[in-house]
Amino acid sequence: MDGRDWGTFLQPYEQAVEELKVKFKTMRSELKKREEYAPIEFVTGRIKKISSILEKAKRLQVPMDQLETGIEDIAGIRIMCQFVEDIRRVAVYIRARKDLKVLFEKDYITNYKESGYRSFHMIVEYPVQTALGQKNVLAEIQIRTLAMNFWATIEHSLSYKYRESLPEEIRLRLKKAAEAANTLDNEMSSIREEILEAQKQFEDNSNITSQLLKAIHQLYFYHLVNEAIDYQERFNEIWQNPDQDVEAIKELLGEVKALLSLAKRGVEEQDV
């Protein structure tokens, strides 16, 4: 390909990156509105520099007239997530989209690279509408956590500087740093699990409490005033205790419910 053609050649890729960035940023804000947090933290994109395209073509022995199919990441989108679990979720959303076609995936999380690199890659075919009609371009979507991104960004700049001659000692230290980033991701995931579990527990407990208070209130409808006062006092006692005993609240709820169903049956029998 002649040097003068680069602008025209790269135009659909630029358009693809711009459109895909908007789409994934929109997905982020949409998910954020629906849920308490978005599985997408932020999105970036770039088109590969001409020098990098030429270098990669040489390295992969891609002929100059086959760059469109031979180099998959001329258009690149990067999606950063807070937690490892989010990566799979984002991949599911991408697979379900009707405006692109996933051609293949590379799971460098399960099968991390020798360098220590971790990320989930999806190679997609994306149709761009140009002045001359539709053109399908390839794009690479890299999905990774903030920790994976932190490591990859620094490793990229260091490796780039040293090229092939990265000293063995540095290579090993980078690998160790990748393990540390992975440990950090795992730790954050398990802390998150615990927080979610604690939140659920808190919601369950407050549900039981409101059920009990409602049930006590219902006792008045059956003229069980003394019982209602008695249960209210017993509840107050448990509630005022610094380590509120959920089991005791559950037990009390069971007792009040049993009394209510007896009272209900009594009323029904009277009606007959």
Where does this chain bind ligand 0O2 (CB under 6 A)? 44-46, 48-49, 52, 56, 72-73, 76-78, 106, 113, 115, 117, 121, 142, 152, 155-156
Task: Tell me how far, at minimum, the Cβ of 143 lies from ligand 0O2, in Å.
Answer: 10
Task: Tell me how far, at minimum, the Cβ of 25 lies from ligand 0O2, in Å.
Answer: 13
Cβ proximity to ligand 0O2, 113 vs 264, nearer residue: 113
How many CB atoms neighbour CB 159 within 10 A?
Answer: 17
The b-or-e profile of 196-223 (16+ CB within 10 A means b, else e) is eeeeeeeeeeeebbeebbebbebbeebe
How many CB atoms neighbour CB 130 within 10 A?
Answer: 13
Residue 41 among the catalytic residues: no
Catalytic residue, chosen from 140, 169, 197, 268, is 140
Q: What gap in Å lies between CA 68 and CA 137, rounded to an integer?
A: 7
Given a contact cutoff of 8 angstroms between Cβ atoms, the answer to whether 197 and 163 are in contact is no
Q: What gap in Å lies between CA 97 and CA 19, rounded to an integer?
A: 14
Cβ proximity to ligand 0O2, 28 vs 234, nearer residue: 28
Task: Tell me how far, at minimum, the Cβ of 54 lies from ligand 0O2, in Å.
Answer: 11
Cβ proximity to ligand 0O2, 171 vs 192, nearer residue: 171
Task: Tell me how far, at minimum, the Cβ of 164 lies from ligand 0O2, in Å.
Answer: 13
Residue-wise DSSP of 132-198: TEEEEEEEEEEEEEHHHHHHHHHHHHHHHHHGGG--HHHHHHHHHHHHHHHHHHHHHHHHHHHHHHH
Which position's Cβ is nearest ligand 0O2?
76
Cβ proximity to ligand 0O2, 128 vs 152, nearer residue: 152
The set of catalytic residues is 140
